[in-house]
């Protein structure tokens, strides 16, 4: 008689360990969300429900500037990263074997393999040299740095979708004398669109939440929401940071939920 398939849930103590892990992961997040509605300034005593900190953050000019800058950088980085990732995915899945193909894939995924601090220091040295050479101190450096860091996050779902797509429709289009561009525009792109959108959303979330790369690359007066919040926590000022964190958390959960919906396998 064949043995039953192995299941980790049957191991002794699995439920207890899983419960402890989930509590350790999510208890701090729940605490943050709850105390973002606290009328008082402390996180050790509940002083009543209030929208005070949300209202304060909403009317704070510095927060508004940082939020607009974060959205600008994340949107531009998403567009650049998704475009490059789509082209890279097509180049590594819709071509035959060639020398260096594996190396190209490794280089595309390099930001996932190297610690963030190493990438940040490398970008700092490179960007500092460009700033000295050009005298330009604008936001473009931050956008390009975020885009470079986000490329593999957009690349992986797009590549996975291309590898799982049935080639029969593309071959049929070619048999009907469609040019490669017509095949891509009318067949491949519509089938690939959900993965492109999902990869773009993932790149947007990664850029929006980034602290390490931003801290090293940004110039003076270019704080994004995460770096602004980090500075506020270091100074121990008003807890409107809790409200901002909760809003970012809700936005991230929403986008990741959409990412899951777009990338899940369908029968």
Q: Based on the domain organization, do 218 and 93 belong to the same domain?
A: yes
Q: How many domains does the chain have?
A: 2
Provide CB contacts within 8 A for 123, sequence distance 6+: 145, 148, 213, 216, 217
For 197, counting Cβ atoms within 10 Å of its Cβ (0-12 exposed, 13-18 middle, 19+ buried), the class is middle
Q: Based on the domain organization, do 45 and 147 belong to the same domain?
A: no
Provide CB contacts within 8 A for 180, sequence distance 6+: 174
Q: Based on the domain organization, do 70 and 46 belong to the same domain?
A: no
Helices (H), 135-239: 140-164, 168-175, 180-183, 189-209, 212-217, 225-235
CB 153 within 8 Å of CB 210: no
Q: Based on the domain organization, do 69 and 32 belong to the same domain?
A: no
Output the domain CATH number for residue 109: 1.10.3720.10
Q: Based on the domain organization, do 24 and 71 belong to the same domain?
A: no
pLDDT digits (tens, 9 = 90+) for 100-123: 777 888 888 888 888 888 888 998
Q: Measure the CA–CA gap between 152 and 167, rounded to whole angstroms.
A: 24
Q: Measure the CA–CA gap between 6 and 25, rounded to whole angstroms.
A: 26
Q: Based on the domain organization, do 115 and 154 belong to the same domain?
A: yes
> Is residue 5, in this structure, part of any structural domain at all?
no
Q: Based on the domain organization, do 207 and 76 belong to the same domain?
A: yes
Q: Based on the domain organization, do 35 and 167 belong to the same domain?
A: no
Q: Based on the domain organization, do 84 and 18 belong to the same domain?
A: no
Domain range enclosing 240: 61-263
Residue 24, SS3 per DSSP: helix
pLDDT confidence of residue 6: 67
Residue 238 has pLDDT above 70, yes or no: no
**Predicted confidence band of residue 243 (pLDDT cuts 50, 70, 90):** confident
pLDDT confidence of residue 81: 94
> Is residue 3, in this structure, part of any structural domain at all?
no
**Predicted confidence band of residue 69 (pLDDT cuts 50, 70, 90):** very high
Q: Based on the domain organization, do 226 and 257 belong to the same domain?
A: yes
């Amino acid at each position: 008689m064949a043995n039953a398939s192995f299941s980790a849930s049957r191991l002794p103590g699995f439920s207890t360990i899983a419960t402890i892990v989930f509590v350790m992961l999510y208890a701090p997040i729940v605490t943050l969300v709850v105390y973002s509605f606290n009328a008082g300034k402390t996180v050790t005593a509940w002083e009543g429900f209030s929208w005070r900190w949300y209202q304060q953050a909403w009317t704070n000019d510095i927060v508004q500037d940082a939020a607009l800058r974060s959205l600008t950088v994340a949107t531009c980085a998403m567009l650049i990263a998704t475009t490059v990732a789509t082209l890279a995915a097509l180049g590594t899945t819709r071509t035959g074997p060639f020398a260096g193909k594996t190396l190209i894939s490794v280089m595309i995924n390099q930001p996932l393999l190297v610690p963030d601090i190493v990438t940040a220091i490398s970008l700092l040295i490179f960007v500092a040299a460009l700033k000295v050479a050009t005298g330009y101190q604008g936001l473009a450096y931050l956008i390009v740095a975020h885009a470079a860091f986000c490329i593999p996050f957009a690349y992986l779902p797009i590549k996975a979708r291309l590898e799982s797509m049935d080639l029969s429709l593309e071959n049929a289009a070619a048999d009907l004398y469609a040019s490669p561009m017509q095949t891509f525009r009318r067949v491949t792109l519509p089938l690939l669109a959900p993965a492109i959108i999902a990869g773009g959303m993932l790149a947007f979330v990664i850029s929006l939440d980034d602290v390490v790369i931003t801290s090293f690359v940004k110039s003076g007066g270019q704080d994004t929401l995460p770096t602004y919040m980090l500075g506020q926590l270091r100074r121990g000022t008003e807890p409107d940071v809790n409200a901002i964190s909760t809003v970012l958390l809700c936005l991230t959960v929403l986008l990741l939920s959409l990412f899951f919906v777009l990338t899940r396998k369908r029968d």
